[in-house]
Amino acid sequence: MIASPERVAIEVQCPYGCANRKVFDPERRFCNLCGGWLNFCPSLACRVPNRIFARFCRHCRTRLDAWESWSCFSGDPTSSGRIRKSAPWKNLPSIRLTSPWAKNSVCVGAEAPPSAIVASFGTVHVFTVEGNLVMIDMRDGSEIDRVAFGEDPVALFGLGERLVAVSQEKLRLFSILGRASANYSAPVPSGYRRLWERQVPGGFPRYVGHPIPYGSHLVQATAGRDAFGLCCLKLKTHEDLWENDPRTFPGEFAFVLPWAEASLIVGNKDGLVVGLTGVRGTETFRFTVPGGLCETFPRACVDEGRMYWFNAVGELWQIELTGRRTPRPVGGIQTARPSILGVCPNQIVVGDRQGTISRYNPFGLDPQHHTIVPAEGESQTGFTLPPILTEDGCLLAASDSGSLLFFGPRSSAAPIERMFSFPSGSHLRSLALVGSILTGINSVGEVQALKIRLDEEAT
């Protein structure tokens, strides 16, 4: 949470236009008149309150930190698995997992795809395959709210106090926080308040992929039979930002990812990659990756201005998205059946469906391999859940059978293995790290939380 400002300008109008010019209470983070949540400028010489969506201070143009971070199962919108936080574990042998809930799990009725569950503000949000959007209190596992849509889920995305729920038929924007009042100073989730919804635009029958933020706008992909499109929506009014919406591309949709400050890249499964500006959607470059995309893993990820992908034979390649854009292989990384990919400045992580996970340095060298042996009665256990890479070089990987592998910073030390087990014994389908709490959902819709504790903390 953002620390309260030490001082605030006396005569500053509310950024939400409610005409309030009173002093903003430094012990609270909302407007005393309209109840709008505020993001204070980090500059000590300014401290002007801004809307929680703002990227730059409206007074001094200082860059604003995210008002509240959302934990999603792909790490972040770049699909790299990277989270910009340190690992909550420091000493691998002392890791213990305990449940913070009185009940070991809560059932939401059905499983959810990895892209359809996020967590923030002490809550977990699940969009199940039955079409139910469920809000769960992370403190005790109680259900706060449930909305039944009966539509196939695509993705959930959080920005500030707002939640974007995407089904194949509609895109909906919700506020999850109640109106601020004088008797508390922190936002509290109170259920889903629908702000607006939008049908699939143009001649495309369904939404696909994960929404991508661009400032206070959102880019979302739609798909048809032999083509797909992108539309850029204003979060306040859900109007189209780009002219001639949507942008149309040939082939089958594979990915859309952000890169740099104001750009996007979009690709199809044949290996066509197009770069776009976020403001107008203008095409800046177009190329086809050599060897195409891997058929079983037709995705890409972006980190530090580089795009990574597996070609048709499972070789890992990269390309600089600026300059000459010359593609080249990454070391000698090759996997017959790649199923996960994670990239950050100090390591590359690759996993396959046979249960082997490999860590490399940023040049694709110095490999370290670890294989999970299937338990008795299990046919095999593979890695299909996105890895979690922390900024201090630690790694958390989870197999389909619920095996959790905790890796420390890159060294020759073996990982510590723990189990994420459910009462029903069903397999893990999604996993997220929120602070020091792991939240998972299995194939029958059971949601469970496990707190990462160290031996000295437990005692």
Residues in Cβ contact with 173 at an 8 Å cutoff, skipping those fewer than 6 apart: 162, 163, 164, 194, 195, 196, 197, 235, 238
Q: Which tens digit of pLDDT belongs to each residue from 312-341? A: 999 999 999 988 889 999 998 999 889 999
Which token pair is 335? 């996997």
Residues in Cβ contact with 347 at an 8 Å cutoff, skipping those fewer than 6 apart: 359, 360, 361, 362, 389, 393, 395, 410
Contact call for residues 148 and 202 (beta carbons, < 8 A): no
Which token pair is 331? 């070391």
Which token pair is 392? 């201090």
Using alpha carbons, select from 277, 382, 373, 275 the residue that is nearest to residue 339: 382
**Whole-angstrom Cα distance, residue 275 to residue 325?**
12
Q: Which tens digit of pLDDT belongs to each residue from 193-242? A: 898 999 998 789 999 998 887 766 889 999 988 999 998 888 777 888 88
Q: Which tens digit of pLDDT belongs to each residue from 420-453? A: 888 887 888 888 888 888 888 888 899 999 999 8
Which domains are seen in the chain, by residue range? 1-67 (no CATH), 71-458 (2.130.10.10)
Q: Which tens digit of pLDDT belongs to each residue from 110-153? A: 988 888 888 887 888 999 999 999 999 888 889 999 999 999 99
pLDDT at 71: 67
Res. 386: pLDDT tops 90: no
**Whole-angstrom Cα distance, residue 433 to residue 120?**
11
pLDDT at 154: 93
3-state helix, strand, coil in the chain (%, to 5): 0, 45, 50
Q: Is 337 exposed, middle or buried (0-12, 13-18, 19+ CB in 10 A)?
A: middle
**Whole-angstrom Cα distance, residue 46 to residue 61?**
10
- State what percent of residues in the chain have pLDDT above 70: 86
Q: Which tens digit of pLDDT belongs to each residue from 66-113? A: 555 676 655 567 788 888 788 888 778 888 999 888 877 789 989 888
Residues in Cβ contact with 375 at an 8 Å cutoff, skipping those fewer than 6 apart: 381, 401
Res. 10: pLDDT tops 70: no
pLDDT at 380: 63
Q: What is the mean pLDDT of the chain?
A: 84
